Amino acid sequence: MTISHMHPARQRRLLRGWEPVQLIGRMRIEAAKDGVTLPKTYLLVRLLFLWENHRLSLPGYYAGLLTRIHGELPSTTGTRSAA
């Protein structure tokens, strides 16, 4: 499978070199800021697999968490804008 056929959530995770459990840890941190308790890690690993492999659609709340975690993807041109 080439990177162009991957789910965007998986692309972003892999571009950062994160294992699924690393991403889940970040998801827990963001969810805690909202006062939300996520399911146990083993269930989230399974859900993440299903989302990344197009077997289940990504629910809105989880999509929002991933957007907050990933933010914008790094530029592929190597240029940076001044902050």
Domain contains 42: yes
The CA distance from 62 to 38, in Å, is 10
Domain contains 1: no
Domain contains 59: yes
Cα dist from 62 to 18, 37, 39, 80, whole Å = 17, 12, 12, 29
pLDDT in tens, the chain (83 residues): 555 577 888 999 999 999 999 999 999 999 999 999 999 999 999 999 999 998 999 999 999 999 999 885 443 444 444 44
Domain contains 75: no
Domain contains 56: yes
Please answer whether residues 24 and 42 qualify as being in contact, where contact means their C-beta atoms are separated by less than 8 angstroms: no
Domain that holds residue 58: 7-69
Q: How many domains does the chain have?
A: 1
Domain contains 37: yes
